[in-house]
Amino acid sequence: MPPYTAMKRILILIDWFYPAFKAGGPIQSCKNIVDTLSDKYSFYLLTSDRDLGDKMPLKGIIPDQWVDQNDNTHIRYTSKDAMTGDLIKQVIEEVKPDIIYLNSLFSLRYTLIPFYVLNKIGYNGKIIIAPRGMLHQGAMQYKTFKKKLFLYLFSRFYVRQNVFFHATDEQEARDIKKYFGHQSQVLVVENIPSIDYSPLQSKPKEKKSIKCVYASRLHPKKNLLFALEVLKDLEDANIQFDIYGPIDDKEYLMECLDIAYDLPANVMVNFCRPLRHFDLSQKLKEYHLFFLPTRGENFGHVIFEAMSAGLPVLISDQTPWTNVEAYEAGWSLPLANKESFAEKIRMVCDMDSETFRSMANNAKEYANTYYGRLNFKQKYGELFG
């Protein structure tokens, strides 16, 4: 059992946590909360002992016991068979948390079963649920039956005065109220992104040449197939398109490979191994354009991190970053017009080094300005109040 502390204690339940990385944004969202606020709160994290889709436990962890990351951060990496209602009840009795934070919505082991246990034992502390974009229209169109069943089961014991939802923008707040009713208690607090304050790196940029990068899960929601189809009609430039991300849907991967195989000879597509967060943030600096025509993000950590690395972005209008074009930091476009995406790639292809560097600097300044205007400690203090 980790040491008792007089600081307010927050128990976080999350399917995957660092050093896991394949689940992407939800891991980073949670890690940045803990790293930023561990001087004000004591965090206890109950999580899986393996990464998304992995059969073997994470290397270097000690499973099924508390591990102290620092004085105020304690993690229990739990094996699959051990993650039961009895364990959750035991952990709550040990930690005596003031707040329980559920960093997911559609998770049997880390949301639904814990919520059932909390109701059964009559837990009267504050319960915060972070849907992490799972109620977004673009996400709800996949595994629809399973999600509707989950929402039905959840609603059977949801209505409680001490339950709050953590939305990261106004759109997510509307999504929550759509599914849980306008009486739901929703608190809007932005995600804490990872910022790179290092100087902008100079990248050579020749006309009629571009290096693009995609970094996300290989899943229909992330829309890699759309990105590859955009590249079909770009025959007048040398294009390198590198893809980083874990395979989340093998059938979808095969569709993407079929399209990639038929692309013109001037388009070189590379499917690269997934990178850990720090390695990816450094790798992004080698490219000219971040290309992610996603069907929906409630935040999109990797989009922000691409801009922070000095990388203009080409994204769909289904993210919070819809104003990037106004700052000349990239483009946010509707998915209905595939040609408009191709047009922007041609535009970057035609840039020389000086023009490109100006846009890269705009992207980095956009990220710095966004980060600088938000008082995260105050806002999360209100969330955990």
Q: What is the pLDDT of residues 321-380, one digit of tens each?
A: 999 999 999 999 999 999 999 999 999 999 999 999 999 999 999 999 999 988 898 999
Name residue 314's beta-bridge partners: 291, 331
CB-CB neighbours of 44 under 10 Å = 24
CA pseudo-torsion sign 55, 56, 59, 64: positive
Residue 150: pLDDT above 90?
A: no
Average pLDDT, the chain: 91
3-state DSSP helix/strand/coil % of the chain, to nearest 5: 40, 20, 40
Q: How far is residue 238 from each of residues 107, 171, 344, measured CA to CA in Å?
A: 43, 38, 15
Query: Predicted confidence band at 1 (pLDDT cuts at 50, 70, 90)?
Result: low
pLDDT score, position 4: 59
Q: Quick one: what percent of the chain has pLDDT higher than 90?
A: 74
Q: How big is the CA angle at 329 (ends 328 and 332), to the nearest 5 degrees?
A: 95
pLDDT score, position 159: 57
pLDDT score, position 367: 96
Q: Residues 6 or more apart from 272 whose CB is under 8 A from it?
A: 242, 243, 244
CB-CB neighbours of 217 under 10 Å = 21
Question: How far apart are alpha carbons 88 and 100 in whole angstroms?
Answer: 11
pLDDT score, position 263: 95
Question: How far apart are alpha carbons 318 and 340 in whole angstroms?
Answer: 15
Residue 248: pLDDT above 70?
A: yes
Assign domain 9-188 to its CATH architecture.
3-Layer(aba) Sandwich (3.40)
The least confident of 31-35, 83-87, 114-118, 334-338 is: 114-118
Query: Predicted confidence band at 82 (pLDDT cuts at 50, 70, 90)?
Result: very high
Question: How far apart are alpha carbons 376 and 373 in whole angstroms?
Answer: 9
pLDDT digits (tens, 9 = 90+) for 12-62: 999 999 999 999 889 999 999 999 999 999 999 999 999 998 999 999 999
pLDDT score, position 5: 63
Residue 167: pLDDT above 60?
A: yes
Same fold, 9-188 and 209-371: yes
Determine the average pLDDT of the residues in 192-218: 92
Q: Which helix (H) or strand (E) holds 276?
A: none
Q: Which helix (H) or strand (E) holds 385?
A: none
Residue 143: pLDDT above 80?
A: no
Q: How big is the CA angle at 36 (ends 174 and 27), to the nearest 5 degrees?
A: 60
Residue 304: pLDDT above 90?
A: yes
pLDDT score, position 246: 93
Pair type for strands 73-78 and 66-70: antiparallel
Q: What is the CB-side half-sphere exposure of residue 181 using CA atoms within 13 A?
A: 8
Rounded to two decimals, the pTM is 0.90
CATH number 3.30.479.30 given to 209-371: no
Residue 141: pLDDT above 80?
A: no
pLDDT score, position 156: 67
pLDDT digits (tens, 9 = 90+) for 211-233: 999 999 999 999 999 999 999 98
Q: How far is residue 56 from each of residues 20, 49, 197, 303, 317, measured CA to CA in Å?
A: 12, 8, 36, 30, 37
Query: CA dihedral defined by 260, 263, 267, 268, rounded to 10 degrees?
Result: 30
Between 291 and 159, the higher pLDDT residue: 291
Domains in the chain: boundaries = 9-188, 209-371
pLDDT score, position 35: 94
Q: Residues 6 or more apart from 316 whose CB is under 8 A from it?
A: 223, 292, 293, 294, 295, 332, 333, 334, 335
pLDDT score, position 157: 62
pLDDT score, position 6: 64
The rounded Cα 310 to chain-centroid distance in angstroms is 19
Residue 3: pLDDT above 90?
A: no
Q: Are 230 and 269 in contact, with CB atoms under 8 Å apart?
A: no
